[in-house]
Amino acid sequence: MTNHWTDIANADVILVIGANPAENHPASFSHITEAQERGVPLINVDPRFTRTSAKADIYAPIRSGTDIAFIGGLTKYVIDDMADNLHNYNMTYVREYTNAPYLVNPAFKGPVDLDGLFSGYDATARKYDKSTWIYQLDENGIPVRDMTLTDPQCVFQLLKKHFSRYTPEMMSTITGCPQNKFLEIAQTYAATGKTGKSGTIMYAMGTTQHTNGTQMIRSYAMLQLLLGNIGVTGGGINALRGESNVQGSTDHCLLWHILPGYLKVPIDTDVTLAAHNLRATPKTNDPLSLNWWKNYPKYMVSLLKAWYGDSATAANEFGFHNLGKVDKDENYSWIPLFKNMFEGSIKGLLVWGQNPAVCGPNATQTRQAMCKLDWLVVAELWETETAAVWKRPEVNPADIKTEVFLLPAACSYEKEGSITNSSRWMQWRFKAVDAPGDARPDLDIINDLMKRIRTLYQAEGGPNAQAITDLDWDYDSHVDPRQVAKEINGYDLTTGKLAVSFGKLKDDGTTTSGNWLYSNSYVEEENLDDFEKANIDVMFPGPEYVGNRATRRWVDVGAGGYSAADGYKEVGLSNYWAWCWPVNRRIIYNRASVDLDGNPWDSEKPVIAWDNVARAWRGDVPDGGAPPMNQGGYYPFIMKSEGHAHIFGPGRADGPFPEHYEPWESPVENPLSGTQNDPTFKIWSGGLDVKGTPDQYPIVCTTFRNVEHWQSGQMTRNLPWLVELVPEMYVEISEELAGEKGIESGDDVRVSSARGQITVKAMVTKRLRPFTIAGKTVHEVAMPWHWGYMGLSTGPSANVLTPNAGDANTMIPEFKAFLVRVEKA
């Protein structure tokens, strides 16, 4: 989230698209309800009428996978309305804070000119040559801007041209959303463009899990920029993370292509640390751009020092060569991982807190892949489908040669540590009870494993053994999570004290930090601020936690941010509740919430404000401490090398503007262009990687989660109270489709895709309706994906049907739109 949970209550309009917070983020609804009772409209756009839709003031159905057509229509509405009602929009924000005025290379062409493609496409490689996706530069190498936004090559005009095709008629043809619903939403949401108004967009996996999911999110972010909704209270682009600590695990490099703090994984051409830093550190010639990532080398060296300690020296490039280097252009995410396993090149797998046998796409192939392993280790609370993959119903266990180890793990209440929630808040959790039996905290399991592996490498050596043997790894048999949290924060090695913040990290080996973004989360008592020192006993739960800011639980809302005495409304920044990355900044890009003089656009609900007398910022921790732009400050989007937010986003694989493409499996031909699918996502083949066609599989299917069950279900399908609520796997079917097929609620129905088939109960409901797409009736059905063959409640897995088709930028699988056939069983 750019903003945070509490801040949702500050919005003037809430748009929930590709998410179902009532069911998947139930606690968030206290903030939504608070806003609604002030008269704030809740808009919900979703293929299914969900429990969130039930609470919405305006609900609009769209066919799965057509978000860009819908948001593109909204964007066109806003751009057109800007021409007629300029005073309703904050054009200073658009001009000064985004790249809308930037002039783009005249050789750049877009889908209007190229039938759905951008310039530079190589159809064989399914890849773009992006050499035309560049700005025009002046003699100093600084992008040229047209502050009138009228030059036909400026980003704003290119955007206008790009979305000119997204008329209400075209929007409706693609999405199936009635035009009157769309216009009601467009009018309501566009009103947040007025200076001082804000709208928030809440999204989740309904948006990301598409072959062009990244571009869908881009379309939301761009709309927010046009409306001046980024950086302000009640605004932002807010990802509702699906697990309590998924933000934390992403920050700490859950994903293959990043190191902690979103540093880049070295590639084979990074022959030296210097070469790596050169590639990874963005540059700017513009003195007004702070370009925060220029500090990259400091964070990289501090990370290496945290991992390799004394053995990391300037002479050995701080142990840089201990890091694995991935092949350039190769992808190591979920789909290729399991594909390689299926093809036999991966021999062993450690599975921690996840259940691939149920949660992965193309589940049959995923299960077969795991049964080709030599060994499989699962650390879990229960014997999950993954741990039991060798004895799953359709196989003879004697045929499976994989050796499976099940390590009992402690659950969240049985161990201490931190989680980072969607708001980027690092919150400490204490242990409530001992884990049963031999179950141990993950930290202790990994510590034990690592020590044994190190002993083996020390004794026997092996390829790149130094990467293991040189590690600075000195934990007791029980790891103290506070020691780890301190290492993540980092140290100043010259004093031996905890690092104060990432601003003090260095690239000379004198500082450490396991994750630069978390530097400032755990400090020495002497480095606490005055307010913390004055309230030290209330702020921290005990002397052994002083300085651990994740443990802070200060609920007096007046204590942080603004108080009534400042003449401002409290906006719920909660500065002293837990700790928030970066440097406790609660709303990121908050310098875009003020005008060029530092005055808040919204004087009622400011994030920050410049105090001209004290010559200091009030409120949230500002993005960089420099004064306002008119007094020598920097452009507000400090993480972008140019300092301006990207309406034109040349970094993406599949185009600088979002374009509607159909899902990989779609019942219709793309009504917008001759380019059917996202042109750059990877198409897999072999095994069960087959594509279904609409003549055989005419019905759109999407997957979802219930509030009663969680993820792959191992935690909830074993709880009798929750099993009682939703005891069986089912498929939601509209009354119209059920009528055609002679299906009634409670009937067994067979749902099949090109990958497999499952038999489940039919839930016939008015909450799904057929769509009219390009004049044709298109049915959509929906299934929860919580079930599998282990636990108290068992049932078929929806993911037996889903395809291995991943997003062009992130490779997240397209769980949310694929084709099936539905028959009465």
Partner 1 sequence: MPKGLLIDTVRCTGCRGCQSACKQWNLLPGWGEAPSDEYDTSFSPTMTNPPQLNAYTYNHVEFYEIPKDNGEISWHFIHTRCLHCIDPACVSVCPVGALQKFDNGPVVWDQTRCFGCRYCQNACPFDMPKFQWEQAWPKIQKCTFCWNRLEEGMEPACAKTCPPNAIEFGERDELLARAHERIRNNPDKYYDYVYGEHEAGGTSIMYINAVAPEKLGLNTDVKKESYPDYTWEFLSKIPVEIAAIAALLGGTWYFRKKRLEGKASVTSGKEAK
Residues that bind partner 1 (CB under 8 A): 22-23, 26-30, 32-33, 37, 49, 51-55, 59, 707-708, 719-728, 730, 745-746, 761, 763-767, 792-793
H helix or E strand, kind and range, residue 500: none
**Percent helix, strand and coil across the chain, each to the nearest 5:** 35, 15, 50
Rama region for 253: left / alpha / beta (φ>0; ψ in -120 to 50; rest): left
d(CA 290, CA 637): 9
Give CA–CA dist 336/333, Å, rounded. Answer: 6
Least distance (Å) from partner 1 to the CB of residue 707? Answer: 5
Which pair of structure tokens corresponds to residue 672? 């917008």
CB of 761 to partner 1, least distance (A): 4
CB of 649 to partner 1, least distance (A): 35
Return d(Cα 303, Cα 264) in angstroms, integer: 12
Task: Closer to partner 1 by CB, 226 or 729: give it.
Answer: 729
**Tokens at 542, concatenated:** 């005990």
Query: Is the Cβ of residue 115 or residue 724 nearer to partner 1 in the bound state?
Result: 724
Neighbouring residues of 488: CB distance < 8 A, sequence distance ≥ 6 = 252, 260, 306, 513, 514, 515, 518, 521, 522
Question: Can you tell me which residue has the tokens 């002679």?
Answer: 742
Task: Say what the alpha-carbon torsion angle 231, 237, 242, 246 is, to the nearest 10 degrees.
Answer: -50
Report the residue number, 27 or 565, with the smaller CB distance to partner 1.
Answer: 27
Residue ranges with strand state E in 748-787:
748-753, 756-765, 771-773, 776-778, 780-784
Please state the closest distance from residue 449 (CB atom) to partner 1, in A.
Answer: 35
Task: Answer positive or negative: Cα dihedral of 550, 292, 602, 10.
Answer: negative
Looking at beta carbons only, is 241 or 276 nearer to partner 1? 241
Tokens for 86? 């300029």
550 vs 749, beta carbon nearer partner 1: 749
- How far, in Å, CA of 63 to CA of 47, rounded? 5
State which residue, 263 or 763, has the beta carbon closest to partner 1: 763
Which lies closer to partner 1 via its Cβ, residue 68 or residue 733? 733
Amino acid at 34: E
CB of 764 to partner 1, least distance (A): 7
The sign of the torsion formed by the CA atoms of 631, 637, 639, 642 equals negative
Complex with partner 1: residue 328 or 766, whichever CB lies closer: 766
Residue 13's Cβ-side half-sphere holds a number of Cα atoms within 13 Å equal to 24
Strand locations in 324-438 (E)? 348-352, 375-380, 403-408, 417-420, 425-429
> What is the phi/psi pair of residue 632, to 5°?
95, 15
- Give the nearest distance from C-beta 562 to partner 1 in angstroms: 25
Q: Show the tokens assigned to 162.
A: 């790009």
Q: Strand, helix or coil at 347?
A: coil
> At its nearest, how many Å lie between partner 1 and the CB of residue 315?
56
Name the residue with tokens 């004055």: 534
Q: Distance between CA 810 and CA 648 in Å, rounded? A: 19
Residues constituting the chain: 825
Supply the minimum distance, in Å, between the C-beta of residue 29 and partner 1: 4
Q: Is 281 helix (H, G, I), strand (E, B) or coil?
A: coil
Nearer to partner 1, 408 or 727 (CB): 727
310 dihedral zone (left: phi>0; alpha: psi -120 to 50; beta): alpha
C-alpha triplet 323, 326, 332: angle, nearest 5°:
115
Shortest separation between residue 200's beta carbon and partner 1, angstroms: 17
Cβ 26 to partner 1 shortest distance, Å: 4
Of 20 and 90, nearer to partner 1 (C-beta) is 20
User: How, if at all, do strands 818-824 and 748-753 pair?
Assistant: antiparallel
Contact call for residues 61 and 769 (beta carbons, < 8 A): yes
Task: Give the distance, in angstroms, between the CA of residue 575 and the centroid of all CA atoms in the same chain.
Answer: 23
Which residue's CB is nearer to partner 1, number 56 or number 341? 56
> Closer CB to partner 1, residue 54 or residue 147?
54
Longest CA–CA separation in the chain, Å: 79
- To partner 1, the closest distance from the beta carbon of 13 in angstroms equals 17
Which C-beta is closer to partner 1: that of 50 or that of 208?
50
CB of 724 to partner 1, least distance (A): 4
18 vs 41, beta carbon nearer partner 1: 41
Strand duo 237-239 + 258-259: pairing: unpaired
Closest separation in Å from C-beta 414 to partner 1: 18
Count of Cβ atoms closer than 10 Å to residue 688 Cβ: 18
Helix orientation angle between 296-308 and 273-280, rounded to the nearest 10 degrees: 140
Closest contact distance (angstroms) between CB of 745 and partner 1 is 4
CB of 178 to partner 1, least distance (A): 10
| Cβ closest to partner 1, residue 168 vs residue 727 | 727
Residue 363 CB, nearest distance to partner 1 (Å)? 21
Q: Taking the complex as a whole, how short is the minimal distance between the CB of residue 723 and partner 1, in angstroms?
A: 4
Tokens found for residue 242: 């699906």
Contact 240, 200 (CB under 8 A): no
Nearer to partner 1, 254 or 725 (CB): 725
* CA separation for the pair 493, 463 (Å, rounded): 31
Cβ–Cβ < 8 Å for 290, 624: yes
Q: DSSP class of residue 41?
A: P
Q: Which is nearer to partner 1, 337 or 738 (CB)?
A: 738
Which lies closer to partner 1 via its Cβ, residue 69 or residue 764? 764
Helix, strand counts (H, E) of the chain: 24, 27
**Helix residue ranges, H only, 410-479:** 442-460, 466-469
Shortest distance in whole angstroms from residue 236 CB to partner 1: 21
